[in-house]
Structure 1
Amino acid sequence: MSGESSQFDITSTKVAGIDVDKSTILQLEAQMNRGRLSSVELVRFYERRIAALNPKLHAVITVSKSAAAEAAAADRARRHGDRRPLLGIPVLVKDNIDTTGMPTTAGSLALAGSSPSDAFIVMKLKAAGALILGKTNLSEWANYRSTQSSSGWSGVEGQTNMAYVLDRNPCGSSAGSGVAASADLATVAVGTETDGSVVCPSGQNGLVGIKPTLGLASRSGIVPISSQQDTSGPMARNVTDAAVLLGALTGVDSSDPATAAQRGHVTTDYTKYLKAGALKGVRLGVWRQGNFGSSPETDAIMEQTIKKLKSLGAVIVDPANVQIDAAYAPENTALEYEFKHDIAAYLQKYTAPKYPKTLQGLINFDNAHASQELKYFGQEIFTESQARGPLTDPAYIKARNSARSIAQHSIDDTLAKYKLAAIIAPTNGPAWTTDLINGDHFLVGSSSPAAIAGYPSITVPAGYSFHLPVGMSFIGGKWDEPELISLSYAWEQATHVRQAPQFLPTVPMR
């Protein structure tokens, strides 16, 4: 592969004459049904592209050794009439999601080689015909180890770099999934989010990202932070692909009680909500407070976005601020309790005896391998979480209930007060320069209300500043995925904002 990759043209995203960067899953499936394209050709293209680009991007940790054989099997199934929605589509999943035949490390050397069998959502993806091409890099332990961490850094694969501008940061713990999808290292990718780690790397990498309602996708077999906020979600170059992938992730899992609530609220086919005229007449509220005023570039893009939404027929309520600040402190407290409990539960259930079984065991591992794991930043979140008590502690119960109540009311009350279909806000500002010493430099972030409430949000490309993508989020109430998908699709079809990355070494100064 290395010999081929040196001659591989990274400027081309065409396979069998079809531009896969600009094609949706529905279009790729149609071409494969006609015999113009094959899953084998797709896999070969992505494998060569990973080999050529990953040394710069560090977006992929593992490539499946069985991908070519699985692609050939998908092509045979298609010839026999199989028409599953993701048949033969190569998907990359974040390396905190258990996948048969490939290690699941959460980016940490503490789990090097740990290979549990498929997580529930991976089984659902495969049932829909998807081909798991490999595992993406991430912020180690989903960015829940240090307050000075650099998003996208892991002990296993190092620092993930943006495809748009290589010295800029890809944001959030699903950094590798964001970069991989943006750079066409797979058709789509799956990320996970506790608070911002699907939407921020999607926005910062020019993608559509869906953070679904808590319980739409099972968490069984996923390295956790918090069972009260964690969810997986699609990360894709267009709304259509995100909708197709979202439908495949649904399913009631007896091992994850939260999924029982999805009955009557989800579908396996969200493409029926792709409505190009959905913005006409809808009321959208602009969440300005705390999201405008810190990044002039982001402000300018959002003001243009608001004007465009009005021209497309949306009724804009401005401002329609979301009162979320009071939830931050109890959220932080609750997450520390939950991580200590939930990470131990995962380690004990899904890893072999030789691996650490508690948070203290992980702390001990890092201390013993400090030159590899602690060379850039520490593990103060680990130690703070370790000091917390059990989930029966009244202080924990109060913190979680308070955070959830504040967040849910912040969305529900705003939607009701202004009779809104959704709330809009910038997802992110232009990406900061990666800084392994001082950590991340966030200026804008609107993920918390939906994350803490367990409600859905979708980010879509809104504009660019100095070649760096800025996203806009649609935030809704519980199980509002259909409405948000319709709004996102209408915006995408009217604007076509997204541009393919150019792999610039740094931001041009002139």
Structure 2
Amino acid sequence: MSFEIVEATISEIGAALDTGEITSRQLVLMYLERIADHDKSGLTVNSVLEINPDALFIAESLDTERQLQGPRGPLHGIPVLLKDNINTGDNMHTSAGSLALADSFAGEDAFIISRLREAGAIIMGKANMTEFANFMTNGMPSGYSSRGGQVLNPYNISTPTGGSSAGSAVAVACNFCTVSVGTETSGSILNPGNLGSIIGIKPTVGLISRSGILPLSSTQDTAGPMARTVRDAVLLLNALLGQDEKDAAMGTNRGKVHEDYTVFLDANGLQGARIGIPRDYYFEELTEEQLALFNASVDRMRELGATIIDPAEITTAREISYSSVVLNEFKTSLNAYLARLGPGAPMRTLKDIIDFNHAHPVQTLKFGQATLLDAEYTTSGTFTEPQYLRDRMTDLRLCKEQGIDATMREHQLDALLFPADFGARITSRAGYPSIVVPSGYTSAGAPFGVTFSARAYEEPVLIRLAYAYEQNYKVRKAPSLKSFI
């Protein structure tokens, strides 16, 4: 077969499917072959946790539908991997990487998975992830789970994968799927997207449904697209859209959601854009090499017509510290999720999971479960703790009103620009959107990206800027999958 699957985009695959050059069944088989050769042997990057046993049947059905009725849309017959905390009402598990949930089946699809199926996407499998979205303990490596083991970075074995959507990012980077879905509470799309040299869109909390996703935080969680190109990420975003009355956060999006975000893909989108760079605090962990990559990216944006306000400081950046919000929200959110799985679910509460881990310490407690214990025994689950209430109000004040909002208003900005994912802490607490885009590689081959961020529901602006940068400076390259540096 002459079709080249490596770095193939949704549009390229769709054209090949339309002409009969390939079928969706053949496409799934090509991805499965790459997974067999490089994910489960060879480099063993370990990004794929589970394959959908029905994937080929679904592909064949969609091939037949294409022949008889034509495609439903761009995602018809396109293989997608899901982070393992997203429910599928099929023959796959949803475990969040935990052995305690290794036998857990969801009774129905998450809302966004129903939307993907309606769009004709093939749910090919589940991706490995940092266990419980990196909320199990302290010191656990990103990309590690007791059920799935350690995900490795295909660009450099000494470079972390980032967490917690590690498998989703690595699978896309390695061309084990066309696109994937990750989730983020605080950097879990942006961080692995940056370290995997891919596009990651962390949407505004409320743009897409969270129903049917194993939760971490009731105020910060969101799913989002992960892809090799901005266009593919936007096509996936389009498919995830839909108003879910069960998700209270979606009540904030009325009149702010666009039916088709591809209309904002503009190769000249940086012309006249005002982009601010908050240098204080956010650049302290950069190496000299990373700083040089970032500054080179800024120079290219200037060349493409952007007005760069440098610095455009966020005056509250150093006031934003540890917050008890996620710790307090985890137990209640998780227990509510587990209760909805029904009486036959293997685990009904967070305490059940803790007890399971205590009973199987060799398999489950390689790094301990200190955070799970804190959530179970130091929080009431009622959100009445004074510290929680104060922290929630403080986060909103420092991150939104006096933080991002104030800076963007003062400098009349279209977006903020952060190195890598270093702005995730403030943007996630604000519930604001971001897009990470590859911008280069270090001498050791480690990927480095830049992140565009803005205010609630300003995804159109971010898409325009990210697409213009990508199209004029195509930096991404696929990992060799032959040897580590």
TM-score (norm. length: structure 1): 0.90
Which position in structure 1 is the counterpart of 2:103? 113
Which position in structure 2 is the counterpart of 1:334? 325
Number of aligned residues: 473
State the AA in 2 paired with 1:34.
T
Q: Secondary structure at the match of 1:220?
A: coil
State the AA in 2 paired with 1:35.
G
Of 392, 408, 411, 1:415 maps to 408
Residue 489 of structure 1 pairs with residue 467 of structure 2? yes
Of 32, 39, 45, 1:54 maps to 39
**Equivalences for residues 291-306 of structure 1 within 5 A:** 291-294=282-285, 295-306=287-298
Task: Check conservation: 2:205, 2:432, Cα contact below 8 A.
Answer: yes
Closer, same or farther: CA 399–293 of 1 in aligned 2, 3 Å: closer
Residue 199 of structure 1 pairs with residue 190 of structure 2? yes
Find the aligned partners of 2:254 and 2:347 in 1 and give their Cα distance.
Answer: 36
Closer, same or farther: CA 19–320 of 1 in aligned 2, 3 Å: farther
Task: Check conservation: 2:8, 2:178, Cα contact below 8 A.
Answer: no
Of 464, 473, 477, 2:441 maps to 464
Following superposition, the deviation at residue 365 of structure 1 comes to 1.5
Task: Check conservation: 1:165, 1:502, Cα contact below 8 A.
Answer: no
Task: Check conservation: 1:163, 1:503, Cα contact below 8 A.
Answer: yes
**Equivalences for residues 335-350 of structure 1 within 5 A:** 335-350=326-341
Residues 55-88 of structure 1 deviation map (CA, whole Å, 9 limit, x = unaligned): 2011011101111111111111111223322100
Per mean C-alpha deviation after superposition, the further-off stretch among 347-356 and 35-44 is 347-356
Per mean C-alpha deviation after superposition, the further-off stretch among 58-67 and 495-504 is 495-504
Following superposition, the deviation at residue 329 of structure 1 comes to 2.1
Following superposition, the deviation at residue 460 of structure 1 comes to 0.2
Find the aligned partners of 2:239 and 2:47 in 1 and give their Cα distance.
Answer: 23
State the AA in 2 paired with 1:220.
S
Which position in structure 1 is the counterpart of 2:364? 373
Which position in structure 1 is the counterpart of 2:14? 29
Of 64, 84, 104, 1:95 maps to 84
Q: Secondary structure at the match of 2:181?
A: strand
Find the aligned partners of 1:496 and 1:313 in 2 and give their Cα distance.
Answer: 17
- Specify every segment of 5 or more residues in structure 1 that has no aligned partner in the other structure, as ranges: 1-15, 429-444
**Equivalences for residues 373-392 of structure 1 within 5 A:** 373-375=364-366, 377-386=367-376, 387-389=378-380, 390-392=382-384
Find the aligned partners of 2:228 and 2:122 in 1 and give their Cα distance.
Answer: 18
Closer, same or farther: CA 120–354 of 1 in aligned 2, 3 Å: closer
Q: Secondary structure at the match of 1:462?
A: strand
Following superposition, the deviation at residue 293 of structure 1 comes to 4.0
Task: Check conservation: 1:89, 1:129, Cα contact below 8 A.
Answer: yes
Following superposition, the deviation at residue 354 of structure 1 comes to 4.8
Find the aligned partners of 2:438 and 2:244 in 1 and give their Cα distance.
Answer: 33
- Specify every segment of 5 or more residues in structure 2 that has no aligned partner in the other structure, as ranges: none
Find the aligned partners of 1:119 and 1:45 in 2 and give their Cα distance.
Answer: 27
Residues 29-65 of structure 1 deviation map (CA, whole Å, 9 limit, x = unaligned): 1221222222111101011111111220110111011
Residue 69 of structure 1 pairs with residue 46 of structure 2? no
State the AA in 2 paired with 1:46.
Y
Task: Check conservation: 1:207, 1:237, Cα contact below 8 A.
Answer: yes
Task: Check conservation: 1:327, 1:406, Cα contact below 8 A.
Answer: yes
Residues 282-317 of structure 1 deviation map (CA, whole Å, 9 limit, x = unaligned): 111112122324321210100111111111111110
Find the aligned partners of 2:138 and 2:160 in 1 and give their Cα distance.
Answer: 16
Find the aligned partners of 1:351 and 1:493 in 2 and give their Cα distance.
Answer: 48
Per mean C-alpha deviation after superposition, the further-off stretch among 168-177 and 392-401 is 392-401
Following superposition, the deviation at residue 475 of structure 1 comes to 0.5
Give runs of ≥4 in structure 1 deviating > 4 Å.
none
Following superposition, the deviation at residue 262 of structure 1 comes to 2.1
Find the aligned partners of 1:212 and 1:115 in 2 and give their Cα distance.
Answer: 27
Of 312, 315, 319, 1:320 maps to 312
Q: Secondary structure at the match of 2:282?
A: coil
State the AA in 2 paired with 1:424.
L
Closer, same or farther: CA 351–20 of 1 in aligned 2, 3 Å: farther
Please, what is the CA RMSD of the aligned residues? 1.4
Q: Secondary structure at the match of 2:321?
A: helix
Of 390, 394, 419, 1:402 maps to 394
Following superposition, the deviation at residue 222 of structure 1 comes to 0.7
Find the aligned partners of 2:13 and 2:368 in 1 and give their Cα distance.
Answer: 44
